[in-house]
Structure 1
Amino acid sequence: MPIAINILNHNDVDILRNIDPDLFDGAIDLQRAEEFLADPRHHLAVAIDDRLVVGFVSAVHYVHPDKPHPEMWINEVSVAETHRRQGLGKRLMNAVFEVARELGCAEAWVLTDRENTAAMNLYSAVGNPETPSDCVMFTFNLEEANPSQLK
């Protein structure tokens, strides 16, 4: 049976009960999964092999006051070790791109570390060459930040 690529919706949370154990960063919280899938701006494409989720792309589409079209931000991509190098990452990315097109998005974008060879290869294979820039990402831990540091 071929590996299916599905875009999950709010009725599909049970699909996330059967995932490759190394696919996500941590265990699936079904309440958070329900919240994610219930939000129409959140998108989750999954690769399913014999009822086991072996890959995913999570994304968010958003609008901005100075942009004429919505954009799709690719948050995370993962394929199980056992299923890599079979084109699943490309198929998942293309499924999310199709959702973005249907929503009228003019662009989709993603950030990664240059040292992440797998991601660099995947993103180069499904899109335009990397954007020439020297991007720097900052992460703000809002649970530990001192309020005076945020002023």
Structure 2
Amino acid sequence: MRHGVRGLPGHAAWRRHRVLRGRARPAHALRQTVTRPIEVRRLNSADAPRMRSIVAMLPPPEWRGENIPRRAHFARALADPAVYVFAAFEGERPAGFVSAYRFPSLTEECDLVYIYDVYVAPADQASGVGRRLMESVIAACRRDGATEAWVGTDLDNQAAQRLFMSAGATGAGQDYVQFEFDLAAAGGEEKA
């Protein structure tokens, strides 16, 4: 299964975008605004049933797979302080979510963050919901001492690139090839 930016066209080839190192938003970044009342908040283990519903409702099965994890899986993930999941809601309706993972660098004395899932419901795309989700997760990771974050998307995914730049990211590099290891397969066979 492919992971990364969800709900925006294309999402397989990864491109590094540095997000945290104190960069201001680029002058050309989009200035999107949400005109509806949207609440963005970090989810915790008590939100496991709601997170399961969000995952079932928002990303299409080809992105998330057919089997949605059980509540216990979400409760365990959401209880981990190194796991960041923020969700956006218009009333009770989920408008999107972002997940990220903080981990210690082995080459510097700092924590790094990988922003893993970014999904905005089609009705909420280009409304500022994605930017608010990104800004929320970045702010939380910065408060917790992380010094750098990255996120990836297809090279041709202009919508995702605009979203990341509007949240303060800068593009890094021209190409990036991702390799996956299917650890569930016998022998952990490689696949590209």
Q: Secondary structure at the match of 1:12?
A: helix
User: What is the deviation of 1:49?
Assistant: 1.2
Q: Does 1:95 align with 2:106?
A: no
- TM-score, normalised relative to structure 2: 0.70
Query: Comparing 83-92 with 12-21, which one deviates more in the overlay?
Result: 12-21
Q: Read off the aligned partner of 1:79 and give its amino acid letter.
A: V
- Maintained 8 Å contact 2:112/2:148: yes
Residues 29-77 of structure 1 show CA distances to partners (whole Å, capped at 9, x for unaligned) of 3221111101111010100111122200000001023222111110010
Q: Read off the aligned partner of 1:71 and give its amino acid letter.
A: L
Q: Secondary structure at the match of 2:85?
A: strand
Tell me which residue corresponds to 1:136.
Answer: 177
Aligned positions, number: 149
1:9-28 map, 5 Å = 9-19=44-54, 21-23=57-59, 25-26=64-65, 27=68
- Maintained 8 Å contact 2:153/2:161: yes
Q: Read off the aligned partner of 2:151 and give its amino acid letter.
A: V
1:64-143 map, 5 Å = 64-143=105-184
Q: Does 1:42 align with 2:83?
A: yes
Tell me which residue corresponds to 1:8.
Answer: 43
Cα root mean square deviation, aligned: 2.2
Cα distance in 1 for residues equivalent to 2:188 and 2:126: 46
Structure 1: runs of 5+ lacking an equivalent: none
Q: Secondary structure at the match of 2:77?
A: helix
- Maintained 8 Å contact 2:181/2:189: no
Structure 1 residues 147, 76: CA separation in 2 closer, same or farther (over 3 Å shift)? closer
- How many percent identity over aligned positions? 32
Higher relative contact order (CA 8 A, sep 6+): 2
Aligned structure 1 segments of 4 or more residues deviating by more than 3 angstroms: 145-149
- Maintained 8 Å contact 2:183/2:189: no
- Maintained 8 Å contact 1:18/1:51: no
Cα distance in 2 for residues equivalent to 1:75 and 1:11: 21
Cα distance in 2 for residues equivalent to 1:46 and 1:11: 14
